[in-house]
Amino acid sequence: MSESSTAPLTTSDGVPLKVSLAKALRREKLRSFLLIAPLLFFILISFVAPIADMLFRSVENAIVPDTLPRTVVALEDWDGSKGELPGEPVYAALAADLKEAVKEKLHTRLGSRLNYDMPGASSMFRSTGRKVEKFTDGNYKEQFIKADKDWGNINFWEGLKQLSSRYTDGYFLSAIDMERDSTGIHFKPEEQRIYLMLFGRTLMLSVAITVSCLVLGYPVAWLLANLPLRTSNLLMILVLLPFWTSLLVRTSAWKVLLQDQGVINDLLVWAHIISNDNRLPLINNQTGTIIAMTHILLPFMILPLFSVMKTISPSYMRAAKSLGATDWTAFWRVYFPQTIPGIGAGAILVFILAIGYYITPELVGGTSGIFISNRIAYHISSSLNWGLAAALGTILLGVVLLMFVLYDKIVGIDNVKLG
């Protein structure tokens, strides 16, 4: 007896049972992995890889060492704090680099890159590029300064030296309103700071939008879940209707309603609630953004709430009341706690969608109601400063993940239910 209990169990072909079981389990796992492999592959290719590539741009700076390899090496020994311009070898290296860059038409590209940090670099490289081919050998320093006097500006050389490494933290510094110069890292002058304020405002307005969606959406979801089927179906169509209308149409409709000479102000003036000279500023400010975005995101709050409320049996409320609870107590102590998973799901959906919105704030937000995403869009499509856009995007992503972790700590992510 005691012998058989210590000897390992084996299968009929003599393989220990443990090994055989593990093997079967592995096969099972492999099979299920193969089943999800196409989706995983698809997500990697179409979602994770592009995002990773975009995020990588926030530190990537290869264009400088790649276009000016000799100059970067020659600059290594130079120290700008002495207040002297680099020597002739640096200018000679620059001439050699530029001549090659002009042939490949890379010099203007580099100029645009440097221009993000040093305004003026763009035209400097463009005009010097036209002249550098005619430079005679020797005395390069003089020829460069003659071509563009900024080549004799020590600040430019210091900037170039800072940007000469393959990776840079410059974009991230810019994204939090800081800069680096010879004295170290510090905040930009007050009148140039913008991003931190915009991050703060984006978070604040997104919270406001989430809260107003909840306040407006909760009663609607309750009605949807408790009305007779025919009425609630009609109501459901009304909730879904905005989904079938173009975002731009909905936003423009709010313009017509909210502007100074718009429908709402006209009605209020007509009803003598406000005077004609004191029309309410409802659009082109934060109010406009909150109103229009609450409307647009409301279904994302109502639907999860509805699907959670639908599963709550009405007999709980009846039981509470039969045990002597008032309407309010029955709602607050019995019904409301059961809807919290729906609130959690709706709030996360609305908040995350709100944080990345930019079309609506651009159209109705004026100057005080725009989001950080409007600046990201500007850097992607207008200024082509994709590095800065990537840095801003990375920070935004980080903030969202942080909020997620906080949410998990406070409410618990298990408590989220979509139905």
Query: What residues does 22 pair with on adjacent strands?
Result: none
Could you give phi then psi for residue 179, rounded to 5 degrees? -145, 165
CB 68 within 8 A of CB 97: yes
Q: Which is nearer to other proteins, 191 or 414 (CB)?
A: 191
DSSP letters of 275-297? Answer: -GGG----SSSHHHHHHHHHHHH
Report the distance separating Cα 224 and Cα 230, nearest Å: 10
180 DSSP β-pair partners: 185
Least CB distance to other proteins at residue 72 (A): 21
Q: Could you tell me the smallest distance in angstroms from the CB atom of residue 285 to other proteins?
A: 11
Q: Which two structure tokens, joined as six digits, stand for 151?
A: 């080549």
Tell me which residues touch other proteins (CB under 8 A). Answer: 105-106, 108-109, 111-112, 115-116, 119-123, 126, 191-194, 197-198, 259-262, 284, 362-363, 366-368, 370, 375, 378, 380-386
Q: Which of 257, 342, 341 is nearest to 295 (CA)?
A: 257
Q: For every residue of 209-235, which 3-state class applies, written as one string?
A: HHHHHHHHHHHHHHHHHHCCHHHHHHH
Kindly state the DSSP code that residue 415 receives in the 8-state scheme.
G
Q: Write down the least CB distance from residue 378 to other proteins, Å.
A: 8
For other proteins, the closer CB: 106 or 334: 106
- Beta carbon nearer to other proteins, 129 or 344: 129
Smaller CB separation from other proteins, 54 or 325:
54
**Residue with smaller CB distance to other proteins, 163 or 347:** 163
CA distance 233 to 53: 45
Least separation in angstroms between CB 41 and other proteins: 19
Q: Residue 108 CB, nearest distance to other proteins (Å)?
A: 4
Which residue's CB is nearer to other proteins, number 188 or number 310?
188
Token pair for 91: 């200018």
CB of 160 to other proteins, least distance (A): 16
* In the complex, minimum distance from the CB of residue 52 to other proteins, in angstroms, rounded to a whole number: 15
Amino acid letter for position 12: S
Residue 366 burial (C-beta neighbours within 10 Å; 0-12, 13-18, 19+) = middle
Identify the bridge partners of residue 348 per DSSP, sorted by sequence position: none
**Residue with smaller CB distance to other proteins, 151 or 300:** 151
User: Which CB sits closer to other proteins, 200 or 398?
Assistant: 200
Report which DSSP code applies to 11. Answer: -
Q: How far is the CB of 363 from other proteins (least distance, A)?
A: 8
